[in-house]
Amino acid sequence: MNTTATKSNLYYHDRVVTVLVAWSIVWSVLGMAVGLYVAAELVWPQLDFGYPWLSYGRLRPLHTNVVVFGFAVSALMATAFYSVQRTSHVPLFAPALAWFCCIAWQLAIVAGGLSLLAGINASKEYAELEWPFDIAITIVWVCFAIVFFGTIAKRKIQPIYVSNWFYGGLIIVIAMLHIVNSLAMPVTLTKSYSLFAGAPDAIVQWWYGHNAVGFLLTGGFLGMMYYFLPKQAGRPIWSYRLSIVAFWAFTYSYIWAGPHHLHFNAIPDWVQSLGMVMSLILLAPSWATMINGIMTVSGAHAKLKTDPALKFIVLSLAFYGLATFEGPMMAIKSVNIVSHFTDWTIGHVHSGALGWNAMITFGTFYFLVPKLAGRDLYSVKLANIHFWLALAGTMLYILAMWGAGVSQGLLWLSLDEIGELNFSFKDIMGSMAPYYGLRVVAGVLFLSGTLLLAFNLFKTLQGQKVVRVVPPPVAAMEAA
Amino acid sequence: MNGLGLHQRLERNAGLLIFGILFVSAIGGLVQVLPSIFQESLSQPAANTRPYGALELVGRDIYIREGCGTCHSQQVRPLLAEVKRYGPYSRAGESVYDRPFLWGSKRTGPDLHRIGGRYTDTWHRVHLLDPRSVVNNSIMPAYPWLAERAANADGDIQLRLKVLRRLGHPYTDADIESAPAKLEGLTEIDAVIAYLQQLGAGLGAEQ
Amino acid sequence: MKQQTTLAPWFPLRLLISPTKVFNELAGTRPDPFVMFFKYLVWFALIPPFLAYIGAATFGWRLGAAEPLFLPAGDLLLVNMLYFAALLFGLVSTAVISQWMASTYGARQSIGIHFALVTIIAGPLVVGSLVHLYPHVFINILAFIPALIWSMFLLFRGIPVVLRITPERGMLMASALIGYLLVAAVSLLGITVALWSRGIGPSIGV
C-alpha cells in the first residue's frame, strides 16, 4: 500500500491541525475579551457608548458562541484530527475535506459572530445563530464526521481507542441535538420561527443546551483527556474497564438531565423529577472518568517532568471534579430553588469553562504545539506564570459568583414574619456591584494568562515548518 | 468476560460503534422529550391567551434581537416570594404562541412575565431610552436607537404572520391584510412597549 | 536536612512569615496526631465560629442590601455550632483524604503529618477569619481572597517538603487536594442552601 500511496499520504496531516490550533487560540483571546467586556458592562453600563452592536444583549451571545464554537470546537477538531491519525496509524481520510472543515468553520464563526452583532439572533441559548448558519454548521459537521470516521474506517489498529469513542460521541450526538433544536420555518434570510412553541420548545432547547455542554464541553474534552493525558504521563490509561463502563453510562444518562434547567417552570412535574434523578446519577460516570484520569497521572512515577502542560491538565481535572459535582447538586430541587436564575449558574458554567475546558486545552496546546513545531516551548517560565494567572482568575471568578448567586437567591426569597418581601429587587441588584467588580478582575487575570499563552505559542511556532511524522511502518492489524 | 467480549465487537467495528452511540444517546430524548412535544395540555392556550397582534409581534422580535432575554426571565415560579414579587405564577398555556419560548435562565434584571400594565407607556419609554433616569442604580443598557427606527422597517410583517399561520397560529386573512397599517407611523420603541404591556395578560380570567 | 524532634508551639503563625523554615522543621519531625488535633485543629475550627458569633451579635449580618440582619441568640448559636462542626469535619476529612492519597504519590503516611499539613493550609484562613468580627459579606470575601491565595501557595509549596516527595508529584497531589477542597466547599454551600430552603434558618418564602 505504501508504494502506491501519493506523497501526501505518507505523512500525518498535521498542518491542518496547526491551523486549527492557531484559530482556536485566536478565538479564545477574542471570546474571553468579549466576556470581559460584557462583565465590565454589568459594572459600567455606559460602556456600550450608545452603539447597538456594543449593547450587552448582543455581545453576550457573541461571547458564548465565540468561546464554545470558536475556541472549544476548533480545539476539539484539531485534537480529534491529531489523535485519530495516531490512534489509527494512518493519515487523515480525505485531507482536502479536513481543510474544508477547518476553513469553512472559521468563516462560519466570523460571519455568525457578525450576524449576532447585527442582532440576528434566534434567541435559543447556545443556538443563537439563525437558520442559514444552522445549515452551514450542519454541512461542516457532516464533513467533520466523514473525515473522522473515514480515518477510523481505514485504521491499521483493530481496536478503536477510547478517545475516539468520545470524539465520535461528540460528532454524532451534537449532530442530532443541533438538527432537532434548530428546526424552524424561515421568514427571511435573517429571521425564522421555531418549529416548537412554549413549553415543548423549552424542553427541546434544554435537551439541546444541556447536552451541548454534555457531549461537547464534557465528552469532547474527555476525548482530549483520554489521548493527551496518557501521552503526557507516558503510561496507558489506568483502567480500561472503567473507561468502557463510564463511557456508556455517560452517553446514556447525560441526555436525560436537561429539564433541571426548568425546575419549577411550567413543564410537567415528571419531566422535572426525571431530570433531577438522572442528573444525580450522572455524577457516577463523570467522576469515574475523572478517577481514571487522576490515577493515570498519579502512577506516572519515573516519567513525570515539571512540565507546564501536565500541570494544566491535572488542575483541569480538579475543576472538572468540582463542576461535575456542583451540577448534580444544583439539579436538586431544594438547592435549585435558590440557585435558579442567579449568578451561581454563571459561576458553575465558568468553573467548567475556565477551570476544565480552557485549562485542559491550554495544557494540551503546551504539549502539542512544541511537537508540531519540532522544538521546545519558547518559554516555560511564561507558561508557569500563565498557570498561576489561570488558577487565580478561575478561583476568583467562582468565589465572586458564589457570593453573588447565593445572596441573590436568598434575598429574592426572603420574607418577613408577616409574609411580606424583605428586599426590593432594585436593592438586591444594586448590592451585586462589588461581586461584578471582582468578576472583572478575575476576567483580567484569566485573559492576561491567555495572552501569554498566545504569545508563547506564537513564538514557538514562528519560522518553523510543521514537523512531518510518518505513521509506524509495520501494519499493526491483529490477525484475528 | 462476556461484557468485555461484546464491547470488543463494538470497538472493532466503527459502524456498530456509531450505531451504538446513536441508539444509547437517543433513548433519553425519545422517552422524555418526544412525549412532551406531543402532550396536548402543553399546547392548549390558557383562557385569555391569544396570538400576538402585528405590533406586539414586532416588539417581541425586537426583544429577541436586542437579547433582552439574556437578563430578563419570563417565568414566575410557583413560590410564595415570587408570586408576591411578580404576580401569579406562569402556566404552560400562556406560552403556546411563543416561538421560541423566552422563559430565560438568568435574572440580572427582574422577571417580566407579569410586567404588563404595571407601569405606564410613558414610564417604559423613558426607561428604555435612559434607564438610570428612572431607576438610579440600574445597570440596564439604554436603547436610544429604538425610537429612531420605524416599526415596519424590515417590511416583512405580513410574511411573518403568514409563516406563523402555517405553524398553526390562528391569524385571519384580515389580520394579515391589515398588519402593515397597524405599524404605520410607529417606531420600534412603540412596538416593544406594546409587547411588554400585554405580557401576563393571558391569565386574566383565571385570577 | 537537619533532624528535629520537637516543633515550636506557634508554628502556624510563623508560617505567615517564614514558611520554608517551618516546612523543613516539619519535615524532620513526626508529629503526634493527638497533639496536632487538640493543640491546633480544634482551635482552628473554633476560632472562626467564635468570631462570627461576636460579629453577628454586635453588627448583624450585612448581606449588602438594606438593613443588617439580626438573628435571635439561640439561632445564632446554632448556626455557629454548625459552622464549627463543618469546619472540624472539613479539616479532619482533608487530613484523612490527604493521607489516603499519600500512598498513591509515594508520600509519608503517618496521619500526624497530614494533620500538620492541614494546619498549614488552614493557618491563613484562620487569621483571615478575623474579618468575621464585621460580618459584611463582601468585605469578608475581599479579606478571604489574599488568605486563600496564601493558603494555596502554602499547599503547593508545603506538600513536597513536608511529605518528602518530589516537587512534581507534590504538584499533582496539591491539585488533587484542591479538587477535594473545592468539592467540600461547594457541598457546604449546597447543604446550607438546601437546609435554608427547607425552612431551617431565616425564613424565606418557598
Q: Do C179 and A318 touch (CB under 8 A)?
A: yes
The verdict on residue B17 lying in a domain is: yes
Give residue A305's pLDDT band: very low, low, confident or very high (50, 70, 90): low
Q: B87's torsion region: left (phi>0), alpha (psi -120 to 50) or beta?
A: left
| Gap from B164 CA to chain A (nearest CA, Å) | 7
Q: How many CB atoms lie within 10 A of CB A51?
A: 11
pLDDT digits (tens, 9 = 90+) for A260-288: 999 999 999 999 999 999 999 999 999 99
Residue A475 has pLDDT above 90, yes or no: no
Q: Which one of B12, B96, B140 has the shortest CB-CB distance to A158? A: B12
Amino acid in the structure at residue B21? I
Distance from the Cα of B175 to chain A's closest Cα (Å) equals: 17
- Cα A398 off chain centre by: 17
Q: Is B188 on the interface with A (CB under 8 A)?
A: no
Joined together, the cell numbers standing for residue C19 give 514558611
Residue C199's pLDDT band, with cuts at 50, 70 and 90, is low
Asked whether the predicted pLDDT for residue A334 surpasses 50, the reply is yes
Mean pLDDT, chain C, rounded, equals 82
Domain check: are B131 and B158 in the same one?
yes
Beta carbons within 8 Å of A96's beta carbon, 6+ residues apart = none
DSSP for A135-161 reads HHHHHHHHHHHHHHHHHHHT-SSSSPP
Tell me, yes or no, if A437 comes closer than 8 A to chain C by beta carbon: no
Backbone angles phi, psi at B88, to 5 degrees: -50, 140
pLDDT digits (tens, 9 = 90+) for C36-58: 888 888 888 999 999 999 998 88
Question: Of A22, A60, A25, which Cα lies nearest the Cα of A40?
Answer: A60
Confidence of residue C169 (pLDDT cuts 50, 70, 90): confident
Give the whole-number percent of chain A exceeding pLDDT 90: 81
Neighbours of chain C (3+ CB pairs under 8 A): A, B
pLDDT digits (tens, 9 = 90+) for A376-433: 999 999 999 999 999 999 999 999 999 899 989 988 998 887 888 888 999 999 989 9
Contact B90 A265 (CB under 8 A): yes
Q: Are residues B113 and B23 in the same domain?
A: no
Which residues of chain A have a CB within 8 Å of the CB of B100? Answer: 122-124, 193-194, 196-197, 201, 205
- Exposure string for A288-315, b = 16+ CB within 10 A, e = fewer: bbbbbbbebbbebeeebeebbbbbbbbb
Examine residue B44 and state whether it is found in any structural domain, yes or no.
Answer: no
Tell me if residue A64 falls in helix, strand or coil: helix
- How far, CA to CA in Å, does B113 sit from each of A193, A223, B118? 21, 42, 11
Q: Is the pLDDT of residue C1 over 80?
A: no
Per-residue pLDDT, A479: 37
In a domain, B110, yes or no: yes
Q: Provide the pLDDT for residue C71.
A: 75
My answer on whether omega of the bond before B100 falls inside 30° of 0, hence cis, is yes
Residue B43 belongs to some domain of the structure? no
Of A299, A326, A392, the CB nearest to C186: A326
Instruction: Judge whether A315 is closer than 8 Å to chain C, CB to CB.
Output: yes
Q: Which residues of B touch C64 (CB under 8 A)?
A: none
Question: B201 or A110: whose pLDDT is higher?
Answer: A110
Same domain as B149, residue B109: yes
Residue A102 belongs to a domain? yes
Closest residue in C to B79 (Cα–Cα): C206
Return mean pLDDT, chain A: 92
State how far the Cα of A264 lies from the Cα of B79, in Å rounded to an integer.
Answer: 8
Q: Pick the residue from chain C with its C-alpha nearest to B84.
A: C205
From CA A399, how far away is CA A347, in angstroms rounded? Answer: 8
Length of chain B: 207
Same domain, yes or no: B121 and B162: yes
Task: Identify the closest residue of chain B to A247 by CA–CA distance.
Answer: B21
Overall domain count for chain B: 2
Tell me: pLDDT of C147 over 80: yes
Q: Which residues of B103-123 are buried (b: 16+ CB within 10 A; e: fewer)?
A: bbbbbbbbbbbbbbeebeeee
Residues C115-125 have pLDDT tens digits of 988 888 888 88
**pLDDT score at A93:** 93
Q: A248: which chain B residues are within 8 Å (Cβ-Cβ)?
A: 24
What pLDDT is attached to residue C5?
Answer: 45
Quote the crossing angle between the two packed helices A73-88 and A95-117, to the nearest 10°.
170
State the CATH number of the domain containing residue A310.
1.20.210.10
Residues B155 and B94 in one domain: yes
Asked whether residue B105 falls in the same domain as residue B192, the answer is: yes
> pLDDT digit string (tens) for B139-158?
999 999 999 999 999 999 99
Query: Residues B83, B63: one domain?
Result: yes
Partners of C206 on chain B (C-beta within 8 Å) are 79-81
If you average pLDDT over residues A186-203, what whole number do you get? 95
Question: In this complex, do A194 and B100 lie within 8 Å of one another by their Cβ atoms?
Answer: yes
A79-95 pLDDT, tens per residue? 999 999 999 999 999 99
Distance CA C199, CA C204 (A): 7
Q: Are residues B93 and B153 in the same domain?
A: yes
Which pLDDT band, with edges at 50, 70 and 90, does C2 fall under? very low
The pLDDT assigned to A103 comes to 97
Q: Is residue A4 part of a domain?
A: no
3-class DSSP assignment, residue A342: coil
* pLDDT at B11 exceeding the cut of 80: yes
Higher pLDDT, A154 or C31: A154
A45–B140 CB contact, under 8 Å: yes
3-state secondary structure (DSSP) of residue A118: coil
CATH number at residue B190: 1.10.760.10
Q: Domain range for residue A378?
A: 10-475
The predicted model scores a pTM of: 0.92
Domain for residue B165, yes or no? yes
Q: Which cell numbers in the block locate residue B88?
A: 401569579
> Which chain C residues are closer than 8 Å to B82 by Cβ?
205
Among the listed residues A157, A139, A131, A65, the one whose alpha carbon sits nearest the alpha carbon of residue A353: A65
Of A121, A197, A201, the CB nearest to B65: A121
Q: Is B157 within a domain? A: yes
Chain A within 8 Å of C188 (Cβ-Cβ)?
no
Identify the residue whose cell numbers are 468476560.
Answer: B1
d(CA A32, CA A453): 13
B95/B17 Cα distance (integer angstroms): 40
φ/ψ of residue A6, rounded to 5: -70, 170
The answer to whether residues B24 and B110 belong to one domain is: no
In a domain, A310, yes or no: yes
What is the number of structural domains in chain A?
A: 1
User: What is the rounded average pLDDT of the residues B23-45?
Assistant: 89
Above 50 in pLDDT, residue C62? yes
In a domain, B137, yes or no: yes
Domain hosting residue B23, numbered range = 2-38
Q: B95 is written with which cell numbers? A: 406560552
